[in-house]
């Protein structure tokens, strides 16, 4: 029945465009690259050939994709169709970005679990295109017979691992819950209890963690594994097996012979290790002006000839049942192996509850794998973090008293100001002779600042009085601030509490500024000597960290601090010292952040200090020399006092920048261990973008950051005042 309906709709759509002479092209957004992008282009070309409707494709960087969609679609500036994974479905649906496909989508066309993944409250959103799930990649030279059970795996691993040579039986991203989930499900651990709430403190959780911990402790797999490391080890033949998804196939060097098989069955439970199933789907925007055509395009991309192209060219695992009838798909062992491996996969729930699981689980995995937490205690740890992050919506507040209060304050303040103003002895013109000129000079900048800086700023302030939940804003008064300042859900000495983070932030700012200034000043004192040879060369080289964008160098430093393969530990070993596991303890993780930021920040201070030193008249030193003052006395009595007025503004600006230095924290330590090295800005970012978009709470954090810095600026103005008086 529904199939007939769909055909009727498609026929209608077809006849509709026949009547219009020039249909506007459909806009299709995606974040595909390489083969997947090429396949998508071929598929849309097929669509255009068939229907005459042109398609404008826009490829976006994945990091900015979701933010762009959530901003553009409500303003009517978004695409007609976009491709995304189903994880954010609930979120998008809550913000009314999606048009339901119930009715036009024919369920039997796709694997049942892929359609299930796209269901919210009985409606289906989007057309499933491809599956993403994990399987076991095996280097067939090293492992002729892939293990089918964990007992076989355990028997095999010791023969394949030679940790002292950097060889491992298995290497996968063990610190990421997406990769741990198959172990959890294999050990019969449920992730959600009967009420749908996440449950961590289960025997399955403890057993799965103990299993993985054992693999790592017996050095059958490396520590602190990243995607890049997995790829390197597998391509070098230093990892015999890895757990990864279909995307990994394109990363394998042609010289490596490999096979893909389903993950083994856990011997103790007899349950197969079930990975999460991710579904990539073509979603139709709720704001499209060509709904029928947009549905036609989205459906077209998910089925038939388009599936064939996506499979053969894009190397995707199609969700389309019929695609497996094509001969080239049948012959493709990689595709069919992944299809087999995905058969047991658990569709990843598209609920908000699922989104709340990632951070507690990441914390727990790292605590077990790197730190001293025992697997049986880990569930409780995750549960605690989960409860701290899972904020119930505060009770709705009535905005009227607030508006009245604001009104009264404005009126009262205005009246008081007018009344208390001392009587002017001069007219306005006399006091401000060049006010009209000043206005013409200032007006353009003021207008720009007002519209694009101060208004967004005011919106940010107001947002802090609201609670945001999947597109719904509720006015809650000061509840966000109360929650933060009362440190609800965790004691004040724990990471995640406002006071702990504030203390870390202050320490971070102070340590950095002191290092920036002392290194910068030290170098400037050396470099100012005009007799120094190669002065220009040194100066050019030392300025480089400032010129390279900091998100690039932060990534480099992150790699240098790696436990097993980082350059810094390499240096320590060469000096006969113990290698350090940098991101498992607060002190070392903090030190890594500081080292990176010092490297980035000293050139600015060096340049400022050089300029300041040059402005000190040489005669002063000569006079001091005549009086027999030592170098140290000269430095203390001449250099320092004369530097202060020039350095102080730079120091103040530097301290504000460091206070909000998001990139370094986020990219180098990422808050490890357990959020302890997060500063206030990165914490605000997490609440806004990684914890179910709690914009209001994040805005409240930002307001507090702002208040702290305001206090700081008042304090520094006091420092500056005596200078201005003199």
Partner 1 sequence: MKKPSGLKMAVIHMGLSLMCMVTLYPVLWVVKMALSPSDSMSLTANPFPDAVTFDHFRDVLLGSDAQGRWVFGRQVLASFIVSGATTAVGLTLAVTAAYALSRFKFPGKEGGMQALLVTQMFPATLMLVPIYGILQKLRLLDSLTGLVLVYATTALPFCIWMLKGYFDTLPRELEEAAVMDGASPFQVFIKVVLPLARPALAVTALFSFMTAWNEFVLAATLINDPTRFTLPVALQRYVGEYKVEWGKFAACALIVSAPVMALFFALQKHLVGGLTAGGVKG
- Residues numbered 633 to 652 that lie near partner 1 (CB under 8 A) are 644-650
Q: How far is the CB of 490 from partner 1 (least distance, A)?
A: 22
Restricting to residues 454-483, name those near partner 1 by CB under 8 A. 454-457, 459-460, 463
User: Rounded to the nearest 5 degrees, what angle is found at the Cα of 434, between the Cα atoms of 429 and 435?
Assistant: 70
Q: Is 77 in the site for partner 1 (CB under 8 A)?
A: yes
Nearer Cβ to partner 1 (194/574): 574
Q: Which residue in 192, 358, 402, 546 binds partner 1 (CB under 8 A)?
A: 546
Q: What is the DSSP string of 150-187?
A: HHHHHHHHHHH-BGGGTBEEE---TTSHHHHHHHHHHT
Of residues 33 and 330, the one with the C-beta less far from partner 1 = 33
Scanning 100-108, 142-150, 505-513, 538-546 for contacts with partner 1 by CB under 8 A, the matching segment is 538-546
What is the DSSP annotation of 430-454? HH-TTHHHHHHHHHHHHHHHIIIII
* Residue 28 touching partner 1 (CB under 8 A): no
Question: By CB under 8 A, what part of segment 215-274 binds partner 1?
Answer: 227-229, 231-232, 235-236, 245, 247-248, 251, 253
Is residue 305 within 8 A of residue 313, CB to CB? The reply is no
* Minimum distance, C-beta of residue 351 to partner 1, in the bound complex (Å): 21
Binding residues for partner 1 restricted to 695-724, rule: CB under 8 A: 695, 698-699, 702, 705-706, 709-710, 713, 723
Least distance (Å) between residue 701 CB and partner 1? 8
Closest contact distance (angstroms) between CB of 392 and partner 1 is: 22
Q: Smallest gap, in angstroms, from Cβ of residue 433 to partner 1?
A: 7
Q: How far is the CB of 643 from partner 1 (least distance, A)?
A: 9
Q: Kindly give the pairing relationship between strand 258-261 and strand 168-170.
A: unpaired
Nearer of residues 226 and 269 to partner 1, judged by Cβ:
226
Q: Is 320 helix (H, G, I), strand (E, B) or coil?
A: strand
Q: How far apart are CA 276 and CA 84, in angstroms?
A: 16
Q: Shortest approach of partner 1 to residue 649 CB, angstroms? A: 6
Among 192, 402, 475, 565, binds partner 1 (CB under 8 A): 565
Nearer to partner 1, 140 or 614 (CB): 614
The dihedrals phi and psi of 290, each to the nearest 5 degrees, come to -125, 65
101-120 footprint of partner 1 as x/- string (CB under 8 A): --------------------
Nearer to partner 1, 223 or 660 (CB): 660
Structure tokens at 407: 């009104």
CB of 219 to partner 1, least distance (A): 16
Question: Among the candidate windows 27-35, 135-143, 499-507, 586-594, which touches partner 1 by CB under 8 A?
Answer: 27-35
Q: Residue 646 CB: number of other CB atoms within 10 A?
A: 16
| Minimum distance, C-beta of residue 64 to partner 1, in the bound complex (Å) | 4
What is the closest distance, in whole angstroms, from the C-beta atom of residue 693 to partner 1 in the complex? 10
Residue 523 CB, nearest approach to partner 1 (Å)? 7
- Contact residue for partner 1 among 215, 365, 542, 676 (CB under 8 A): 542
Size of the site for partner 1 (CB under 8 A): 127
Give the Cβ contact number of residue 633 at 10 Å: 12
499 binds partner 1 per the rule CB under 8 A: no
Q: Return the residue of 168, 498, 599, 697 that touches partner 1, per CB under 8 A.
A: 599
Least CB distance from residue 449 to partner 1, whole Å?
6
Cα separation, 612 vs 642, in Å, equals 8
* Chain centroid, CA 37 distance in Å: 23
Which of 410, 446, 482, 492 touches partner 1 by CB under 8 A?
446
* Phi, psi of 131, rounded to the nearest 5 degrees: -105, 145
- Which DSSP string corresponds to 177-228? HHHHHHHHHHTT--SB-TTS-B---SHHHHHHHHHHHHHHHTTSS-SS--HH
Q: Which of these ranges, 60-68, 142-150, 210-218, 486-494, lies near partner 1 under the rule CB under 8 A?
A: 60-68
In the set 50, 330, 431, 721, which binds partner 1 (CB under 8 A)?
Answer: 431
Give the integer Cα–Cα distance in Å for 431 and 261: 84
CB 125 within 8 A of CB 89: yes
Query: Which of 11, 64, 405, 577 is in the footprint of partner 1 by CB under 8 A?
Result: 64
Can you tell me whether residue 301 is helix, strand or coil?
Answer: helix
CA distance 651 to 379: 45
CA 330 to chain centre: 38
Task: Specify the residue, 490 or 689, whose C-beta has the smaller distance to partner 1.
Answer: 689
Q: Which residue has the tokens 């230095």?
A: 661
Starting at the edge strand found earlier in the chain, the sheet holding 135-139 runs 168-170, 239-244, 135-139, 258-261
- In whole angstroms, the minimum distance from the beta carbon of 582 to partner 1 comes to 15
Assess 405 for contact with partner 1 (CB under 8 A): no
CB of 322 to partner 1, least distance (A): 26
Is 490 an interacting residue with respect to partner 1 (CB under 8 A)?
no
Q: Least distance from C-beta 223 to partner 1, angstroms?
A: 14
Cβ–Cβ < 8 Å for 273, 182: yes
Q: How far apart are CA 279 and CA 291, in angstroms?
A: 23
The answer to the question of residue 433 lying near partner 1 (CB under 8 A) is yes
Q: Which residues make beta-bridge pairs with 545?
A: none
Residue that is written with structure tokens 């102080």 in the block: 648
- Span between the terminal Cα atoms of the chain, in Å: 89
How far is Cα of residue 121 from the mean position of the Cα atoms in its chain?
29
190 and 549 Cβ atoms separated by less than 8 Å: no
Q: In terms of CB distance, is 16 or 256 closer to partner 1?
A: 256
Cα 548 off chain centre by? 21
Binding mask 650-689 vs partner 1 (x if CB under 8 A, - otherwise)?
x--x--xx--x-x------------------x--xx--xx
- Interaction of residue 543 with partner 1, rule CB under 8 A: yes
> Closest separation between CB of residue 504 and partner 1, Å?
16
Name the one range near partner 1 by CB under 8 A: 118-126, 180-188, 351-359, 436-444.
436-444
Site for partner 1 in 607-636 (CB under 8 A): 607-608, 610-612, 614-615
The residue among 8 and 449 lying less far from partner 1, judged by its C-beta, is 449
Contact region with partner 1 (CB under 8 A), list: 1-9, 185-193, 211-219, 446-454: 446-454
What's the rounded Cα separation, in Å, for the pair 356 and 693? 11
Binding segment for partner 1 (CB under 8 A), chosen from 36-44, 89-97, 361-369, 585-593, is: 36-44
Interatomic CA distance for residues 246 and 331, integer angstroms: 16
Cβ–Cβ < 8 Å for 647, 517: yes
What is the rounded distance in angstroms from the CA atom of residue 530 to the CA atom of residue 545? 24
């Amino acid at each position: 029945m529904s199939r007939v309906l769909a055909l009727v709709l498609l026929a209608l759509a077809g006849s509709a465009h026949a009547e219009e002479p020039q249909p506007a092209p459909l806009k299709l957004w995606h974040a595909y690259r390489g083969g997947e992008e090429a396949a998508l282009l071929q598929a849309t070309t097929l669509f255009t050939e068939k229907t005459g409707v042109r398609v404008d494709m826009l490829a976006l960087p994945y990091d900015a994709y979701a933010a762009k969609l959530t901003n553009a679609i409500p303003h009517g500036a978004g695409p007609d169709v976009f491709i995304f994974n189903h994880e954010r479905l609930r979120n998008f649906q809550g913000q009314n970005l999606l048009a339901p496909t119930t009715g036009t989508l024919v369920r039997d066309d796709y694997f049942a679990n892929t359609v299930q993944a796209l269901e919210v409250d009985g409606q289906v959103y989007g057309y499933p295109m491809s599956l993403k799930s994990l399987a076991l990649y095996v280097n067939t030279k090293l492992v002729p017979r892939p293990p089918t059970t964990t007992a076989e795996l355990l028997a095999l691993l010791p023969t394949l691992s030679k940790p002292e040579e950097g060889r491992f039986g298995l290497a996968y991203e063990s610190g990421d819950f997406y990769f741990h989930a198959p172990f959890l499900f294999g050990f019969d651990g449920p992730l959600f209890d009967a009420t749908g709430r996440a449950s961590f403190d289960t025997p399955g959780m403890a057993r799965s963690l103990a299993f993985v911990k054992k693999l790592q402790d017996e050095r059958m797999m490396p520590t602190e594994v990243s995607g890049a490391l997995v790829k390197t080890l597998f391509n070098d033949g230093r990892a015999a097996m890895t757990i990864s998804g279909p995307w990994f196939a394109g990363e394998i060097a042609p010289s490596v012979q490999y096979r893909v098989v389903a993950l083994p069955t856990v011997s103790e439970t007899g349950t197969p290790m079930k990975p999460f199933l991710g579904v990539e789907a073509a979603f139709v925007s709720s704001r499209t002006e060509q709904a029928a055509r947009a549905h036609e395009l989205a459906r077209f991309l998910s089925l038939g000839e388009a599936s064939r192209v996506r499979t053969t060219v894009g190397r995707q695992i199609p969700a389309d049942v019929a695609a497996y009838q094509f001969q080239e798909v049948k012959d493709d062992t990689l595709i069919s192996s992944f299809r087999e491996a995905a058969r047991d996969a658990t569709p990843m729930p598209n609920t908000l509850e699922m989104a709340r699981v990632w951070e507690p689980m990441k914390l727990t995995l790292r605590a077990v794998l790197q730190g001293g937490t025992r697997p049986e205690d880990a569930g409780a740890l995750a549960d605690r973090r989960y409860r701290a992050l899972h904020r119930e919506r505060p009770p709705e507040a009535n905005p009227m008293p607030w508006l009245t209060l604001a009104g009264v304050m404005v009126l009262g303040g205005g009246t008081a100001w007018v009344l208390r103003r001392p009587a002017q002895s001069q007219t306005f013109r006399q006091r401000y002779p060049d006010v009209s000129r000043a206005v013409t000079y200032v007006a353009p900048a003021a207008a720009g600042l007002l519209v694009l800086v101060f208004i967004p700023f005011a919106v940010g302030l107001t947002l802090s009085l609201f609670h945001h939940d999947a597109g719904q804003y509720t006015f809650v008064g000061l509840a966000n601030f109360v929650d933060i300042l009362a440190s609800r859900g965790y004691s004040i000495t724990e990471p995640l509490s406002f006071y702990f983070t504030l203390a870390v932030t202050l320490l971070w700012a102070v340590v950095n500024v002191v290092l920036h200034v002392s290194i910068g000043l030290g170098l400037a004192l050396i470099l100012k000597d005009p007799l120094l040879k190669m002065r220009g060369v040194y100066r050019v080289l030392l300025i480089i960290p400032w010129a390279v964008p900091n998100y690039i160098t932060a990534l480099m430093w992150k790699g240098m601090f790696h436990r097993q393969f980082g350059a810094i530990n390499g240096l320590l070993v060469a000096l006969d010292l113990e290698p350090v596991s940098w991101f498992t303890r607060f002190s070392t993780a903090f030190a890594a952040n500081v080292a990176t930021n010092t490297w980035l920040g000293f050139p600015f201070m060096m340049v400022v200090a050089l300029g300041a030193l040059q402005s000190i008249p040489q005669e002063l030193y000569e006079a001091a020399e005549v009086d027999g003052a030592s170098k140290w006395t000269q430095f203390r009595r001449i250099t320092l006092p004369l530097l202060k007025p020039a350095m102080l503004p730079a120091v103040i600006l530097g301290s504000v920048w460091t206070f909000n230095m998001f990139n370094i924290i986020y990219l180098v330590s990422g808050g490890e261990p357990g959020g302890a090295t997060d500063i206030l800005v990165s914490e605000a970012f997490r609440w806004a973008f990684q914890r179910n978009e709690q914009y209001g709470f994040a805005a409240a954090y930002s307001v507090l950051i702002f208040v702290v810095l305001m206090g700081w600026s008042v304090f520094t103005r006091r420092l500056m005042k005596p200078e201005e008086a003199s």
